[in-house]
A and B are shown apart, each in its own frame.
Chain A
Amino acid sequence: MALINGLYTEGEKIADTKAPKVPVPEMWTTRKFDAMLVNPANRRKLSVIIVGTGLAGAAAGATLGEAGYRVKSFCFQDSPRRAHSIAAQGGINAAKNYKEDGDSIYRLFYDTVKGGDYRARESNVYRLAEVSANIIDQCVAQGVPFAREYGGLLDNRSFGGVQVSRTFYARGQTGQQLLIGAYQALERQIAAGTVEMYTRHEMLELIVKDGKARGIIARDLVTGEIETHVADVVVLASGGYGNVFFLSTNAMGSNVTANWRAHRKGAYFGNPCYTQIHPTCIPVSGDHQSKLTLMSESLRNDGRIWVPKNREDCDKDPRQIPEEDRDYYLERIYPSFGNLVPRDIASRQAKNVCDEGRGVGPMVGDFRRGVYLDFADAIARLGEDAVRAKYGNLFDMYARITGENPYEVPMRIYPAVHYTMGGLWVDYDLQSSIEGLYVTGEANFSDHGANRLGASALMQGLADGYFVLPNTIRDYLAKGPFEALADDDPAVAEARAAVEARTEKLLSINGERTVDSFHKELGNIMWEYCGMERTEEGLNKAIGLIRGLREEFWRNVKVLGSADTLNQSLEKAGRVADFLELGELMCIDALHRRESCGGHFRAESQTEDGEALRHDDEFLYVAAWEFTGGDGTNGEFGNMGAPVLHKEDLVYDAIELKQRSYK
Chain B
Amino acid sequence: MTTTTHEAEVAAAPREEGLMNLTLKIWRQNGPRDNGRLVTFKVKDISPDMSFLEMLDVLNEQLQAEGTEPIAFDSDCREGICGMCGLMISGEAHGPEKTTTCQLHMRSFKDGETITIEPWKADPFPVIKDLVVDRGSFDRIIQAGGFISANTGAAPKAEAILVPKENADRAFVAAECIGCGACVAACPNASGMLFMGAKITHLGELPQGQPERDARVVSMVNQHDAEGFGGCTNIGECSHACPKGIPQDVISTLNKDLRTALKRGR
Contact = CB atoms under 8 A, between A and B. Distances in A.
Contact of B135 (A78, A145, A560): A78
Interface stretch (A33-41, A228-236, A284-292): A284-292
Contacts of B68: 560
A153 B168 CA distance: 10
Nearest to B176: A173
Nearest to A191: B143
B265 interface: no
Nearest to B180: A82
Contacts of A658: none
A381 interface: no
A514 interface: yes
Contacts of A252: 75-78
Contact of A81 (B70, B155, B165, B179): B179
Contacts of B217: none
Nearest to A184: B147
A149 interface: yes
B82 to A, nearest CB: 4
A419 B198 CA distance: 32
B144 A569 contact: no
Contact of B175 (A80, A177, A470): A177
A112 B143 CA distance: 37
B255 interface: no
A567 B147 CA distance: 34
Interface stretch (A17-25, A130-138, A337-345): A130-138
A145 B168 contact: yes
A560 B84 contact: no
Interface in A255-306: 285-286, 288-291, 293-294
A252 to B, nearest CB: 5
Given A142-B150, A177-B175, A565-B31, A151 B79 contact: no
A138 B143 contact: no
A153 B150 contact: no
A625 interface: no
A185 B76 CA distance: 23
Interface string A82-118: 1010110000000010100000000000000000000
B67 interface: yes
Interface string B96-109: 01010001010100
B215 interface: no
A66 B158 contact: no
Contacts of B105: 400-401, 403
Interface string B62-95: 0011011110101111111111100000000000
A152 B208 contact: no
Contacts of A188: 143, 147, 149
Interface residues of A, number: 79
A62 B152 contact: yes
A472 B129 CA distance: 42
A242 to B, nearest CB: 13
Contacts of A187: 139, 142-143, 146-147
B53 A290 contact: yes
A143 interface: yes
A87 B80 CA distance: 9
B107 A403 contact: yes
B232 interface: no
B237 interface: no
A447 B256 CA distance: 47
B147 A78 contact: no
A79 B135 contact: yes
A77 B82 contact: yes
B81 A176 contact: yes
Interface string A172-191: 01011100100111011011
A251 B162 contact: no
Contact of A141 (B77, B107, B150, B164): B150
Contact of A170 (B30, B162, B164, B172): B172
A498 interface: no
A63 B76 contact: no
B69 A560 contact: yes
A185 B208 CA distance: 14
Contacts of B172: 145, 170-171
A59 B172 CA distance: 21
Contact of B103 (A78, A183, A401): A401
B165 A148 contact: yes
B191 interface: no
Nearest to A138: B155
A378 interface: no
A134 B155 contact: yes
Interface in A61-82: 62-63, 66, 77-82
B261 interface: no
Interface in A548-585: 558, 560-561, 565-566, 568-569
Given A187-B143, A252-B76, A148 B163 contact: yes
Contacts of B65: 514
Contact of A140 (B47, B136, B155): B155
Contacts of B190: none
A466 interface: yes
Given A187-B139, A187-B143, A288-B54, A143 B148 contact: yes
Interface string A149-162: 11111100000000
A86 B82 contact: yes
A553 B119 CA distance: 33
A321 interface: no
Interface string B122-149: 0000001100101110110011101111
A141 B156 contact: yes
A184 B162 CA distance: 22
B157 interface: yes
Nearest to B75: A252
Interface of A: 59, 62-63, 66, 77-82, 84, 86-87, 96, 98, 134, 136-143, 145, 147-154, 170-171, 173, 175-177, 180, 183-185, 187-188, 190-191, 197, 199, 222, 251-253, 285-286, 288-291, 293-294, 397, 400-403, 466-467, 470, 514, 516-517, 558, 560-561, 565-566, 568-569
5 contacts: A137-B157, A138-B155, A141-B155, A286-B50, A290-B54
10 A-B pairs with the lowest CB-CB distances in the bound complex, closest first: A152-B162, A184-B147, A141-B155, A141-B150, A140-B158, A191-B143, A137-B155, A63-B152, A251-B76, A82-B82
Given A59-B152, A78-B74, A175-B81, 8 more contacts: A77-B76, A79-B138, A145-B175, A171-B172, A199-B136, A288-B49, A290-B54, A467-B152
